Amino acid sequence: MNGRVALVTGASRGIGQRIAERLAAEGAAVALVARTVAPGTSALPGSLQEVAGRIRARGGVVAALPADLTSPEEVETLVARAEEALGPVDTLVNNAGVNFYGPALEVRPRRYALMFQMMVHTPFRLCQLAVPGMIERGRGWIVNITSKQARHPLGPPYPDWAADGCVPYGMCKAALDRLTTGLAAEVHGTGVSVNALGTSGLVMTPGVAVVSPHTPDNAPVEDDGAMADAALLLCGADPGTVTGRIAYSMELLGRPFPEGPWALSATF
């Protein structure tokens, strides 16, 4: 990743933090995007200052870009801010996410709108802002963080986990998958790769620990570094060669992993 510039959203904690730190360790200059700037200012652990500090302590190059990704006005300036700080962005990781579990018929309109803004509209707009420059330079890498909850449970009869309250979240990730495959087709031949990457199992991020009905007691837990390893694999491929994939961490890495809720074999 030497000489590369990566923009990673949702980079103050969890999967985004791990991907950002891994790309930086491999030589990329990384623009970190999140709302939480300083420690102790959020109910969840993790902040831009802490992640940036670790990257700098290891000799990496980093810029912290505070932003609310539910605000279209703030999204509009992100790529320009990253490029002003670090240079042309050639790698975009759309990781930021939010989930409000509950029955689909009871989801509040504001929460529904917030989920779609952060996980569908924002990644779409960031691609519109970043990809033209990638095409002009002849190389680029997009990784959209997806989920197996975008897939469809086999049935009827349906397994219990199929009604775990994730319909709006799954809808958002299904839209992100379609953005991935469609954009990959549109830019094929330009040197730009577009892929989606999801977890194979449970990753106990701070957010998951607070809201998810899935726990280590009812779902297999994957290695904390698997998503970062898999993201690096997708971002490290030759420009434009590995593209249009909807991949999952452990399967992509070729690591054995037990099936659990939302197993590929139980979905379509």
Q: Which residues are catalytic?
A: 169
Q: How many CA atoms lie within 13 A of 234 on its CB side?
A: 31
Widest CA span of the chain, in angstroms? Answer: 54
Answer for the pair 111, 164: CB distance below 8 angstroms, yes or no.
Answer: no
Query: Quick one: CA dihedral 92, 167, 36, 214, positive or negative?
Result: negative
E strand map for the chain: 5-9, 29-34, 62-66, 91-94, 140-145, 192-198, 246-248
Answer for the pair 153, 267: CB distance below 8 angstroms, yes or no.
Answer: yes
Distance CA 28, CA 196 (A): 20
φ, ψ for residue 180, nearest 5 deg? -60, -55
Residue in 165, 171, 166, 164 with CA at minimum distance from that of residue 150: 171
Two tokens, residue 193: 């790769």
Q: Is 48 helix (H, G, I), strand (E, B) or coil?
A: helix
Answer for the pair 152, 102: CB distance below 8 angstroms, yes or no.
Answer: no
